[in-house]
Chains A and B, each alone.
Chain A
C-alpha cells in the first residue's frame, strides 16, 4: 500500500523491540467478542492511484459543471473567477499540511496570514476586530445570535424575512435547544424590505435584530434606522453578508451601526464546491471581543524583541474554558481563510472595486433584458449582482425546464421556501463577471420559451 512505509521486516523488528509476539497482542484491550476477524465484510481491497482516479472521475462526469453552462445561481454561493495563483499558494505543503498554530515559533506563516485576514475582514465589514474564521456564513450567523445573548443577557432575536432561509433554519435548530426565542417571517415578493416590521418589533426584551445585506432577494436597504432603533432599546444589530464582493461598492454594515457583522466569504478565493468547505467571516466591536467565538491571532514579540504572532485570548475557548467557553468550535476554516486572504490581496481595494463595478453593471443589464420578456417583471428597486424576477409561471419547473436546455438559470424560491405558495413565482438570478454575452443570450431565449 503506497501510503504505508513500514515493510514486514520493519514490523517484525519493531514487535521485537516492543516485546510483543504479534500485532494482535497490542490490541489485547479490545474485547475479543467485538474484534473484526475477517476485516470489513463486502468491501474491496486497496486500489491503485490510476484506478481510484478513474472511479472518482466517472462520478464527477455525471454532474453539470457550472463553467460549462450558462450559469446564474447565487443565494449564498457565488461563482467568481479565482486567480490561478490562489490555488497554487494554498497547495503549498507548508500551508496545506500544517496544523492549527499551537507552536507559534514554527507557525508564523499561518499566524501572520490570519492576522492579515482578520485585518482585511474587519476593514471590509467596517468593524474594529475580526476572528480567524468560522465554518461558514450560516454557522457564523448562529454564533452571532448566541454572542448577542451573552452581551445583552436577553434571549429574543428578530430575524429579517430577507435572511437566507438556510441561515434561519440553522438558527431555529439551535434555538430549540438553547431557549432562544426567534421572531421570523417569510419574505414578500416586493421591492421593499421588512425594515419597518423589524423596527416595530424591537422591545426591551430584544437581544438582537438580524438583517441580511444585500438580502435573499438581492435587495439593499440602509441599515442605519434599524441600528438606531435597536441601540435605543439596548439591543444589538447583527448584519449578515453572503456576497462580500458587494462591499466593494456599497457601504459597510459597520459604517451603518451594525455591532456584529458576519457572513460567507466563499466568493473570494474559495469556489462553489457544492456548498463546502466555505469560510465564515465574523467581526465585531473591540469592546465585545471577549464574548466572541473562535480563534484570534494577535501581535506580540519574541524573546529577542522581534515582532511575531500568536493565538490569543484563548480563555474564551473550549480547550481552556471547557463548559464555560463562548463556543465549542475548534477546527475552523483556516485554509479557506488563506484562499480568501490571497485573493483579496491580489484584488486589493482597486481590484475589489472594479470587480464589484463589473458585477453590478452586468447584473443591471441582464435585469433589464430579462424583465423585458413578456410576463416577466423585476421585483427589486435596488440590487447589487443578484435580483429577483416574478415569472408568469411557477419558477421551480421553469428552472427544471431550463436545465433540460443546458442552462442553469437561477434559484427558484420554491426550492428555498417549499411551503410558501405566494413566493413560487420568484426566481433569484445572480450575474457575476463570469457570465458572458452568449450566456445571457441563451438564458434570455430559454426563459422566453419556458414562461410561454
Chain B
C-alpha cells in the first residue's frame, strides 16, 4: 500500500518575464522537494535488521491491527530529502543573522565534537552515580563558571530553556515568599519585556501589571517606586533591556524592590552584552536565567533545544529545584535527588523535569567557556557592543533611531519605521533584506517602538560582513522612504514568496492528509 496513491506533482512552474519555465519546477540549485508522505510508503525502510527472533507475545492482547501510515525511505532517498530541505533554510553558517534578542552567533564545531564523545552522549541518566562522575563534573564545573560570571550565590541547572528558567526563578520567589507567610499577588513587568515574562508570571498564579518606560527607553524609576508595595512579589526586568539599552538605575531599582519586600528577577536573554564586564549579582538581582543557546553559543537548531540555568541570590537558593550536583570534600560528586534532599536541601520547591537537565548543552557551553576563558568572554561583550554601535552610527542618518541621541546602545541597535513612505513598513524592509542574502532583524518587537527593527549583529561578525549589511540596509531604507513599489513583492529570490499566514490560521492544515484514492480509468 502506498500512502499517497496519486503521487506527487511538482508545483506549477511560474513564468517570469523572459524566463523559460522548467518541467520539474526546480531552478538550478533551487530544488523543490515534495513531502515525505508523497515520496515514501509504508513498505520501504532505510534500516536493515537481523532476522526477527520468535517468542510468544506478551503484549496483553493489545497488538496493533490497522496500519499506522508512517512513510519510509531508503537511506539515499532520506539523505537527499533532508539535504534538499536543508537548502531552503537560512542559517548563521550562511551569513549574518541579526535577530535582536536571539544572539545568533557562530556555533563552534569543537562543541559539537565534545558533546558526541561516548562518555557524554552514551550514558543513561539513571546509571549508578559513581559510573557518571565525569558527567557530574561537567555540570558542576559549568555551574561554578556561571556563578563566577554572574556573582550570584547558587545556580539551578535543570531548566530546559529560557522560559523554563523564568518559571524556575519565579517558583523560587513564590516559595521564598510563602515560607515567610507573605502571600503577594502581583508581578511587575515592563511593556518592552519578552512575551515569556508575563506568560510565566501568569502561569505561576500572579497578576501581571506593566511598568511604564521613560522617554529614554528605560524603566521609569519614580513610577516604579510609586507602584511598589506589599502586594508586589517581584519585578521582572530585562537588562540590558529589549531596546538594547542598559538600565543605569538598576541598583536603585533593586534597592527599591527589596525595601518593599519584593524580589528582582532579571531576564538574562541579553547577558551577551555584559559577560565579563559587570556581574548581575553586583546589581542586586535575585534570580536570572542564562540562555546557554544565546550567550554560550549552543546551536539554536531551528527552535531548540535550549538550556536555561538560573542563578539565584542567597535569599532564594534554599528553594531551588531538585536535582543538583554537589562536590564532596573527597573530590567526588554527588547527585542530590528526592532521597537526600530532606537532609541537605529541605526547602526545595521540587522537580522541574525528569532527569538532570540539558547535558548535551552543558558540554557544549563548557567547551565554549573554556575556549574563551576570562579574557575572551570579556572580549565577547566588548565586540558585541562595538558591532552594534557601529551599525547604529552607520544607519542613524537613514533610519529613525529613537534612542540614539541618548547615547550608545549595548549589543543591539533599535530603529523604527518612521519616515517610510505611506503604506510601507518594517516588514517590507525585512523581506527585501532576504533578497540581499541576509536574515531579517527582529521585527515589531519591542512593542514600545513603532515598527521596531531590533538588530543584534553579535561579536562573531567581521567588519566586512557588517559593512555589507550596512550598505544593503541603507539602500533598502532609501527605497522604503521613496515608496518603491517593488519592495512589496520582496522577497523574489527566496525559495518562496511571501506566505499567506491568514489562510494558514483560518483553515489550519497541521498534518498531511492522504488524498482520496484515484478512481480507475474506465
Q: Which of A25, A94, A342, A400 has the most CB of B within 10 A?
A: A94
Q: Mark A90-118, 1 if CB is under 8 A from B, else 0.
A: 11111111111111111111101101101
Q: Is the CB of A330 within 8 A of B45?
A: no
Is residue A308 within 8 Å, beta carbon to beta carbon, of the partner chain? yes
Q: Is the CB of B60 within 8 A of A65?
A: no
* Residues of the B chain whose Cβ atoms lie less than 8 Å from the Cβ of A49: 110, 371
With A6-B463, A333-B305 given, is the CB distance from A274 to B499 under 8 Å? Answer: no
Is residue B17 within 8 Å, beta carbon to beta carbon, of the partner chain? no
Is residue B35 within 8 Å, beta carbon to beta carbon, of the partner chain? yes
Q: Is the CB of A276 within 8 A of B359?
A: yes
Q: Is the CB of A116 within 8 A of B35?
A: yes
Q: Which of A197-205, A352-360, A438-446 contacts B (4 or more CB under 8 A)?
A: A352-360
Is residue B276 within 8 Å, beta carbon to beta carbon, of the partner chain? yes
* Residues of the B chain whose Cβ atoms lie less than 8 Å from the Cβ of A300: 499-501, 503-504, 509
Q: Is the CB of B134 within 8 A of A99?
A: no
Q: Shortest beta-carbon distance, A169 to chain B, in Å?
A: 4
Q: Is the CB of B133 within 8 A of A63?
A: yes
Q: Shortest beta-carbon distance, B454 to chain A, in Å?
A: 12
Q: Shortest beta-carbon distance, B522 to chain A, in Å?
A: 31
Is residue B19 within 8 Å, beta carbon to beta carbon, of the partner chain? no
Q: Shortest beta-carbon distance, A125 to chain B, in Å?
A: 10
Q: Is the CB of B510 within 8 A of A118?
A: yes
Q: Is the CB of B59 within 8 A of A382?
A: yes
Known: A18-B392, A272-B121, A408-B128. 6 other contacts (CB 8 A): A6-B463, A30-B274, A61-B134, A300-B503, A318-B199, A360-B57
Is residue A220 within 8 Å, beta carbon to beta carbon, of the partner chain? yes
Is residue B127 within 8 Å, beta carbon to beta carbon, of the partner chain? yes
Return the chain B residue nearest A71 by Cβ.
B124
* Residues of the A chain whose Cβ atoms lie less than 8 Å from the Cβ of B104: 97, 99
Docked CA distance A187–B118 (Å): 34
Q: Could you jot down 7 A-B contacts, CB within 8 Å? A: A35-B278, A108-B88, A122-B511, A135-B304, A276-B125, A298-B509, A327-B199
Is residue B227 within 8 Å, beta carbon to beta carbon, of the partner chain? no
Docked CA distance A123–B303 (Å): 23
* Residues of the A chain whose Cβ atoms lie less than 8 Å from the Cβ of B113: 53
Q: Mark A36-50, 1 if CB is under 8 A from B, else 0.
A: 100111111111010
Q: Is the CB of A323 within 8 A of B198?
A: yes
Chain A to chain B: the 6 pairs with minimum beta-carbon distance, closest first: A348-B72, A60-B119, A275-B355, A335-B301, A382-B60, A93-B93
A residues 14-58 touching B (CB-CB < 8 Å): 14-15, 17-20, 23, 25-31, 33-36, 39-47, 49, 51-53, 55-58
Q: Shortest beta-carbon distance, A297 to chain B, in Å?
A: 7
B residues 5-55 touching A (CB-CB < 8 Å): 11-12, 14, 33, 35-37, 40-47, 49-50, 52-55
Q: Is the CB of A92 within 8 A of B504?
A: no
Q: Is the CB of A36 within 8 A of B496?
A: no
Is residue B222 within 8 Å, beta carbon to beta carbon, of the partner chain? no
* Residues of the B chain whose Cβ atoms lie less than 8 Å from the Cβ of A322: 195, 198-199, 208
* Residues of the B chain whose Cβ atoms lie less than 8 Å from the Cβ of A302: 496-500
Q: Shortest beta-carbon distance, B214 to chain A, in Å?
A: 14
With A275-B354, A331-B303 given, is the CB distance from A89 to B79 under 8 Å? Answer: yes
Q: Which of B35, B128, B205, B351 has the most CB of A within 10 A?
A: B128
Return the chain B residue nearest A100 by Cβ.
B303
Q: Shortest beta-carbon distance, A103 to chain B, in Å?
A: 6
Q: Is the CB of A355 within 8 A of B49?
A: yes
Docked CA distance A64–B127 (Å): 9
Q: Which of A136-144, A151-159, A225-233 contacts B (4 or more CB under 8 A)?
A: A136-144
With A99-B102, A346-B72 given, is the CB distance from A14 to B81 under 8 Å? Answer: no
A residues 399-417 touching B (CB-CB < 8 Å): 399-400, 403, 408, 411, 415-416
Q: Is the CB of B125 within 8 A of A53?
A: no
Q: Is the CB of A95 within 8 A of B86?
A: yes
**A94, A118, A328, A358: which contacts B196 (Cβ < 8 A)?**
A328
Q: Shortest beta-carbon distance, A200 to chain B, in Å?
A: 21
Is residue B399 within 8 Å, beta carbon to beta carbon, of the partner chain? no
Is residue A66 within 8 Å, beta carbon to beta carbon, of the partner chain? yes
Docked CA distance A297–B63 (Å): 32
Q: Mark B50-76, 1 if CB is under 8 A from A, else 0.
A: 101111111111111111111111010
* Residues of the A chain whose Cβ atoms lie less than 8 Å from the Cβ of B416: none
Q: Is the CB of A63 within 8 A of B303?
A: no
Q: Is the CB of A88 within 8 A of B79?
A: yes
Q: Shortest beta-carbon distance, A384 to chain B, in Å?
A: 7
**B83, B112, B248, B359: which contacts A89 (Cβ < 8 A)?**
B83
With A176-B349, A354-B52 given, is the CB distance from A103 to B376 under 8 Å? Answer: no
Q: Is the CB of A105 within 8 A of B494?
A: yes
